[in-house]
């Protein structure tokens, strides 16, 4: 008997890789399915520190196999208990009370951002404070470099448009955000299009720069945005616990600002378990907002004229997430009942992060690899390597062939930056870094190294390999 020829779906790893449009996601897929064992991926924002240290031992070893209630439907934006627990966790990190009723779970911060982008296109009602709703095509200002996922979250389905606010790449204000930069970009966009941008997104601490924005700077930017424009502001605080000891500029959450006290309707915050807790695969995210249209979009509406399902239903905080994250949030240290595991884990994370940061920083310096850093800057989970001096250089003729990795998503990159990426990622170096061009870096030659993606000794060895490879590069005559 012959089987009729039917079209089949694509399931070959190499072919699937060629279809992934996001460089970082493509690298994560490549390293999981196709890379040789000795290859090290420091490109993807992952964090192994807390899990390896204590999470498996103190939480998941004691988590029973799935109990029956968790196979059933649950509130898609989080049960009241889960929302209370998350509000308490965030309240501690943000130094301000967070109300459980303002917390809405989703399937990842990428989804939380998309929910906001849709919800802000709904109008305030019955005299609620708030500017007119956003419409398709409206501009979203984002200091650049920035996490490339904002493009997916804001542009793909909500149809907003990301507009980078390029940070300077040279001089004393190198990669520093100022109110003037935001204002200039805002006005330039208005001049060019006749329309004012409607959304400002600040990532605090920043990805890829790692830095915290100081309270004064934030108050200044927020006050301008609220008093002089119709901008909504999203503060992406997904790395809020990623703080090293001895920082010069402490982390300040948007909810701890005077601006938030005066105008909570203009400010929306997102956070999730992917980065600080290293649980990226679960896809957990939270919208925190007091704004009427956002609350209605997240809760759903039940009017005669309008019935809308909660946004999270399409991208749920599902029962499996409730189960695993619920275990995490309820666990106590060694089951003693005396301290919540999450409090312990974030205290320990700070120690691990600080130690790892110092070790890798010293190793980068020992290898003479430059990175953008002012003493006392927070790193979150990253080094922003400055490899500009190597652009265009090559190893002495015939000594080396950089095999391009099969990452098709990189085609829009600067040629020399892409060459350098391939040179470092291919054997014998075998270390993947994220090219800055994928993150809208205003100049080529910068690469993001995620130092929490592996244990510090492995990162240090990878840094040595990078140093060795860079040392071979020369200007060919």
Binding-site string for ligand PLP from residue 46 to residue 85, where x marks contact by CB under 6 A and - marks none: ----------------------------------------
Nearest C-alpha neighbor of 268 from the set 130, 361, 386: 130
Contact between 43 and ligand PLP by CB under 6 A: the answer reads: no
Q: Which of 149, 210, 292, 444 binds ligand PLP (CB under 6 A)?
A: 149
Q: Which of 143, 145, 210, 272 binds ligand PLP (CB under 6 A)?
A: 272
Shorter beta-carbon distance to ligand PLP: residue 147 or 383: 147
Q: Where are the alpha helices (DSSP H) in 307-455?
A: 319-330, 341-366, 415-425
Shorter beta-carbon distance to ligand PLP: residue 263 or 283: 283
Contact between 373 and ligand PLP by CB under 6 A: the answer reads: no
Neighbouring residues of 124: CB distance < 8 A, sequence distance ≥ 6: 130, 133, 265, 291, 292, 293
Residues 391, 14: contact at Cβ < 8 Å? no
* CA dist., res. 340 & res. 468, Å (int): 44
- DSSP assignment letter at 285: E
Contact between 287 and ligand PLP by CB under 6 A: the answer reads: no
Residues 134, 195: contact at Cβ < 8 Å? no
Show the tokens assigned to 446: 């910068």
Contact between 45 and ligand PLP by CB under 6 A: the answer reads: yes
Return the residues of window 205-224 that contact ligand PLP according to CB under 6 A. 207
- In angstroms, give the least distance from the CB of 47 to ligand PLP: 10
Residues 62, 210: contact at Cβ < 8 Å? no
Site stretch for ligand PLP (CB under 6 A), options 105-113, 321-329, 344-352, 405-413:
105-113
Contact between 325 and ligand PLP by CB under 6 A: the answer reads: no
Shorter beta-carbon distance to ligand PLP: residue 105 or 108: 108
Binders of ligand PLP: how many residues, by CB under 6 A?
A: 15
Q: Which of 203, 252, 331, 432 binds ligand PLP (CB under 6 A)?
A: 203
Calculate ∠ Cα 359-363-364, nearest 5°: 120
Show the tokens assigned to 473: 């590069």
Beta-carbon count within 10 A of 137 CB? 11
Q: Report the length, in residues, of the chain.
A: 477
Beta-carbon count within 10 A of 456 CB? 18
Site stretch for ligand PLP (CB under 6 A), options 249-257, 272-280, 382-390, 434-442:
272-280
Shorter beta-carbon distance to ligand PLP: residue 292 or 435: 435
- In angstroms, give the least distance from the CB of 419 to ligand PLP: 25
- In angstroms, give the least distance from the CB of 172 to ligand PLP: 26
- In angstroms, give the least distance from the CB of 147 to ligand PLP: 4
Q: Which of 58, 86, 89, 109 binds ligand PLP (CB under 6 A)?
A: 109
Nearest C-alpha neighbor of 38 from the set 465, 446, 336, 467: 465
Site stretch for ligand PLP (CB under 6 A), options 13-21, 33-41, 177-185, 277-285:
277-285
Question: Dihedrals φ, ψ of 323, to 5°?
Answer: -65, -50
Site stretch for ligand PLP (CB under 6 A), options 34-42, 218-226, 278-286, 432-440:
278-286
Residue 58 CA from chain centroid, whole number: 26
* CA dist., res. 280 & res. 394, Å (int): 36
Beta-carbon count within 10 A of 171 CB? 7
Contact between 280 and ligand PLP by CB under 6 A: the answer reads: yes
Q: Which of 26, 28, 83, 110 binds ligand PLP (CB under 6 A)?
A: 110
Shorter beta-carbon distance to ligand PLP: residue 83 or 263: 83
* CA dist., res. 244 & res. 248, Å (int): 10
Residues 312, 105: contact at Cβ < 8 Å? yes
* CA dist., res. 111 & res. 257, Å (int): 25
Contact between 274 and ligand PLP by CB under 6 A: the answer reads: yes
- In angstroms, give the least distance from the CB of 336 to ligand PLP: 31
User: Omega before 34 cis (within 30°)?
Assistant: no
Shorter beta-carbon distance to ligand PLP: residue 236 or 386: 236
Shorter beta-carbon distance to ligand PLP: residue 153 or 429: 153
Query: Pseudo-torsion of CA 323, 324, 326, 330, nearest 10°?
Result: 130
Binding-site string for ligand PLP from residue 454 to residue 473, where x marks contact by CB under 6 A and - marks none: --------------------
- In angstroms, give the least distance from the CB of 317 to ligand PLP: 11
Which residue sits closest to ligand PLP, CB atoms considered?
A: 108
Residues that bind ligand PLP in the complex, under the rule CB under 6 A:
45, 108-110, 147, 149, 203, 207, 236, 238, 272, 274, 280, 283, 285
């Amino acid at each position: 008997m012959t089987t009729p020829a039917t079209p089949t779906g694509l399931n070959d790893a190499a072919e699937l890789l060629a279809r992934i449009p996001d460089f970082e996601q493509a690298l994560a897929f490549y390293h999981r399915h196709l890379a040789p064992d000795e290859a090290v991926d420091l490109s993807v924002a992952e964090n192994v520190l807390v899990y390896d240290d204590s999470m498996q031992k103190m939480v998941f070893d004691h988590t029973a196999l799935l109990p029956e209630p968790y196979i059933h439907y649950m509130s898609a934006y989080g049960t009241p208990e889960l929302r209370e627990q998350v509000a308490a966790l965030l309240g501690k990190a943000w130094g301000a009370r967070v109300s459980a009723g303002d917390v809405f779970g989703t399937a990842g911060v990428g989804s939380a951002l998309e929910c906001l982008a849709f919800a802000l296109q709904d109008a305030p009602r019955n005299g609620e404070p708030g500017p007119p709703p956003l419409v398709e095509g409206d501009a979203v200002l984002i200091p650049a470099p920035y996490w490339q996922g904002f493009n997916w979250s804001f542009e793909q389905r909500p149809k907003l448009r990301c507009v980078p606010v390029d940070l300077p790449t040279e001089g004393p204000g190198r990669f520093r955000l100022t109110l003037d930069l935001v204002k200039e970009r805002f006005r330039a966009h208005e001049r060019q299009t006749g329309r004012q941008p409607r959304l400002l997104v600040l990532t605090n601490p920043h990805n890829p720069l790692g830095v915290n924005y100081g309270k004064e700077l934030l108050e200044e930017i927020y006050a301008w945005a609220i008093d002089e424009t119709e901008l909504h502001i999203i503060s992406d605080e997904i790395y809020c616990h990623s703080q090293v000891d001895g920082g010069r500029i402490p982390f300040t959450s948007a909810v701890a600002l005077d601006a938030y006290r005066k105008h909570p309707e203009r400010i929306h915050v997102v956070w999730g378990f992917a980065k600080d807790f290293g649980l990226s695969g679960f896809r957990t995210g939270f919208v925190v907002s007091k704004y009427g249209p956002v609350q209605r979009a997240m809760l759903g509406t039940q009017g005669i004229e309008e019935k809308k399902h909660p946004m999270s239903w399409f991208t749920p905080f599902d029962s499996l997430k409730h189960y695993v994250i619920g275990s995490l949030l309820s666990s106590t240290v060694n089951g003693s009942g005396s301290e919540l595991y999450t409090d312990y884990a974030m205290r320990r994370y700070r120690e691990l992060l600080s130690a790892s940061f110092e070790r890798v920083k010293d190793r980068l310096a020992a290898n003479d690899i430059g990175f953008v850093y002012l003493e006392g800057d927070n790193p979150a989970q990253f080094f922003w390597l400055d490899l500009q001096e190597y652009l265009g250089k090559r190893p002495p003729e015939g000594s080396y062939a950089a095999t391009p990795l099969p990452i098709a998503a990189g085609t829009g990159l600067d040629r020399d930056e892409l060459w350098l990426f391939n040179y470092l990622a291919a054997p014998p170096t075998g270390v993947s870094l994220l090219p800055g061009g994928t993150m809208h870096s205003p100049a080529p030659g910068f690469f993001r190294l995620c130092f929490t993606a592996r244990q510090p000794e492995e990162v240090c060895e990878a840094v040595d390999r990078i140093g060795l490879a860079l040392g071979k590069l020369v200007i060919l005559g």
